[in-house]
Structure 1
Amino acid sequence: MRLTLLALLAKESAHGYELKQALEQIFGGAYPSPNIGQIYVTLGRLEKDGLVRSVDVEQSNRPNKKVYHLTAAGREVLGTWVDEPSEGPRVRDEFFLKLVLAPASGTADRTAMINRQRRHYLGLMRDLNELAERTDPANRVALLLVEGAMLHLQADLDWLERCQEDLR
């Protein structure tokens, strides 16, 4: 959440609710809507760390609102994050650890485990298909996010087939 908020504040200063709305507008239903409390706690920590600063803005018929601005230190942290490659394939896959270790201990059957995991992935795929159908076609960001998740799931399903064949 920290780096996401820094990225949004790099574009323009905002208060917490505006940041929440920006995330919802950019990613639509494809990205879980953050809790507003989490946003404000994170903003407080970012301010404490010197990555953002806030100013109170008076409002005529409402309490003052706190508007956050990115600091030079925040811009530097954001630049480092953007320049670093993201994590790649997961070598320590929890399901694979279970698949290899549980049957050896006599606590599980590999075929049953693979079938259960496959059903889980297919359910997630159905959910993503439904989300894609509900997503505004003009929101290319949300659609690309959903498509990426679906492609990862398809790769996981293909990998399950490979596990079933090779671990007989």
Structure 2
Amino acid sequence: MRLHLLALLSRGPAHGYELKQDLEQLLGAAYPQPNIGQVYVTLSRLAKSGLIEGEEIAQSSRPNKKIYRLTVAGTEALNAWFEETADEPRARDDFFMKLALASHTGLADQIGLINRQRREYLNTMRTLSKLSAAENRDNRIAQLLIEGAMLHLQADLDWLERCQEELEGPR
């Protein structure tokens, strides 16, 4: 969430609740909604590390609010993040480790694990389909997020099928 908040602050100063609302509006219902406490804790850490600075703003009928803005170091960190590529090959996937260790330890049935994971992926796809239908069609970012998640799930389902074929096939 650190870099997400920095990116939002690149548009101009904002307080924590505004940043939370911006994320929710941008990403829609398919993306896990940020907890406001998590937003403020992250903002505090960003300030301590010198990536943002905060300023108390007095309000007449409400408690003071803190407005945050990027520092030069924050802008540099954000630019570096946008230059990086995502390195997420799933070689360290938790499910795969369960699958590999199931037969090695005798603690679980591999096909049972595959079937449970398949059901979970299918349930998630149904949920995403409903969210896609309910999501505002004008929010292209949210639609792309849902579509990407569904394509990843389909690839995961195909991979589960491949695992099952391999494990049930002749040795």
Compute the TM-score of the two structures, normalised by the length of structure 2: 0.93
Q: Could you give the per-residue CA deviations for residues 88-137 of structure 1, whole angstroms, max 9, x where no partner exists?
A: 32112221222122123222222222111111111111111111111111
Equivalent residue, structure 2, for 1:157: 157
Equivalent residue, structure 2, for 1:14: 14
- Aligned-residue identity in percent: 61
SS in structure 1 opposite 2:91?
coil
Structure 2, unmatched stretches of 5+, are none
Equivalent residue, structure 1, for 2:34: 34
Equivalent residue, structure 2, for 1:24: 24
SS in structure 2 opposite 1:97?
helix
Instruction: Name whichever of 53-62 and 8-17 sits farther off.
Output: 53-62
**What is the CA-CA distance between 1:67 and the residue it aligns to?**
0.5
SS in structure 2 opposite 1:29?
coil
How does 1:77-92 map onto structure 2 within 5 Å?
Answer: 77-92=77-92
Structure 1, unmatched stretches of 5+, are none
How many residues align? The count is: 168
What is the rounded CA distance, in whole Å, between the counterparts of 2:79 and 2:120 in structure 1? 37
SS in structure 2 opposite 1:53?
strand
Equivalent residue, structure 2, for 1:148: 148
The code of the aligned residue for 2:132 comes to A
SS in structure 1 opposite 2:147?
helix
**What is the CA-CA distance between 1:28 and the residue it aligns to?**
1.5
Are 2:55 and 1:59 equivalent residues in the alignment?
no
**What is the CA-CA distance between 1:45 and the residue it aligns to?**
1.1
**What is the CA-CA distance between 1:153 and the residue it aligns to?**
0.3
Instruction: Name whichever of 125-134 and 55-64 sits farther off.
Output: 55-64
Equivalent residue, structure 1, for 2:47: 47
SS in structure 2 opposite 1:33?
coil
SS in structure 1 opposite 2:54?
strand
What is the rounded CA distance, in whole Å, between the counterparts of 1:85 and 1:59 in structure 2? 42
What is the rounded CA distance, in whole Å, between the counterparts of 1:60 and 1:86 in structure 2? 45
The code of the aligned residue for 2:12 comes to E
